Structure 1
Amino acid sequence: MAQIDPINLRGFLIYKGFLDRSVQEALVSEARAIAGAAPFFAPVTSRGQKMSVRMTSAGQLGWISDRSGYRYEANHPNGVAWPAIPEVVLDVWRAVADTSRLPDSCLINFYGEGARMGLHQDKDEGDFRWPVVSISLGDDALFRMGSPTRGGKTESIWLSSGDVVVMGGDARLSYHGIDRIRFKSASLLPNGGRINLTLRAVDQGTMLQQPSKP
């Protein structure tokens, strides 16, 4: 992992080129192993709209989006427990998160050709003292950042394979999303696409609450 200073955009700390190729390859290998145990699935919103990404998770909890709302669950939709978060993934958290608190969940999103993620807040964790750490692997993605309130001006930056983003402090509840990817712009994934690993520390009491609705 490179010793570099992050770019600060709207409170988002963006570590460009933080992970070298060998670490990226190790992370992809671990993501594939996780998906082998807990397969990628196509999430839908509470309104029944199919998302363009496919997702799975690792850790004590996994994030779920379906007609019941957005929430964390202890098991994959098929009933199996989520695999543990690999150490190589936790090492990234330890390097940038500035806390001894380890994440409970690693959400894994796969972006194929044409996939995107609309502006949203990460707000289902129950305790917002802890940052969210996002790892980019594969194709370039146009990352859009807003403010903690919907609407207003936004700012965008291209994220490349090996970039890491930390959302904490003032940016913890800021809206953000992926407008598009440059399909097959990187060689890490031979068939193209982007893998995004998002590490979150979750208040486990949220499992007992009603699912949140967008």
Structure 2
Amino acid sequence: MRQHKILLFFFLLHGACIMAQNDSLPTKTLLRKMEFGIDAVPYIAGEVGASFLFKVRFRGPYFGPKRHRQTVVRSHLKSTSYYDGYSSIPFFNPATPDTSFQRHYYGRYQHLGLSLGIEQQFVRKRMGAYFGAEAFGFYKWTNGEYRTEADPTGPAPSFISESYDGSYAERAFGVAVLAGFRYFILRQLSIGLEAHFSGAFNFAESQSERNGVIIYDNNQLIEFRIQPIRVLYLSYHFGR
């Protein structure tokens, strides 16, 4: 399913680029005062929620002989969730042939993140590029429940032969450097992708219960991460 979404996105992207080739755009008109972008990465990953980019001009624009540039303040808000679950078909264990077993699983994932930064934008013809830096913070929470239900043949009642409940919460605060590329389909519409290199202080807490035994774990660490495609987005540009 995820592969189908990726193929659909790039098919629509390819069609839009072909249509755009017949349209000549004055480069100066591509540097707009504000920009609102919708991130497609959560959708491709099967998550529910939203991921938005918003940018406002801070300095410029400056028009040069070959390319034009401006400086913008940017923010990125992400609030997504993901659900997963299944129940297996009944199966038998050779050690207990008179009892059937069935596994059940339910999982939930939530992500809330906010960043604020600054970037320098360049445009030439339909092409645009930018680089910048931002400070960010996010909260992630994951919960999973797993059960194996045993059902003996005869009058004996069913019972839980194995169980696991676990939760994991992570809070992080850090800084990142970023670089992006975009292509203007129309004067006020562009598609782009963005890469990140970040460093963050992570505070993680986990709690699990396996067959009645509770385990706690707390960790604090510094984490560095490279995300080749952190954001894949469609943007609307407006304002002078």
Q: Which TM bucket (shorter chain)?
A: under 0.3
- What TM-score comes out, normalization by structure 1 length? 0.25
Q: Which has the larger radius of gyration?
A: 2
